[in-house]
Amino acid sequence: DGRYSHVAELLDIFKESSLEEGDRWEGTCSELLKVLSKMSGVDILLRDVNTRKLGWAMRHLSTKGCDWLTRSDTKGSCKWVIKK
């Protein structure tokens, strides 16, 4: 889906630059945006992204079969898990 392709690309960049094979990152959309904003070269992709849009995109990607992206198992949590 073209509406969320920039987020998928952003998450791929994050996985490649921040995670080792078998690693996982867990956190909220706000925490992820903080991490992403410190990475060089992603400024253009973050221009129109806020926590709400990031959450919608991540929900969409996870329902479309991105097995590396899931919601946290912790009950009542609004965290995401990104696996490499």
Tokens coding 22: 């078998």
Centre a 10 Å sphere on the Cβ of residue 32 and count the other Cβ atoms it contains. 23
pLDDT tier for residue 77 given thresholds of 50, 70 and 90? confident
| pLDDT tens-digit map of 12-34 | 999 999 999 999 999 999 999 99
- Relative to beta strand 80-83, strand 24-27 is antiparallel
| pLDDT tens-digit map of 58-71 | 999 999 989 999 99
From CA 50, how far away is CA 66, in angstroms rounded? 21
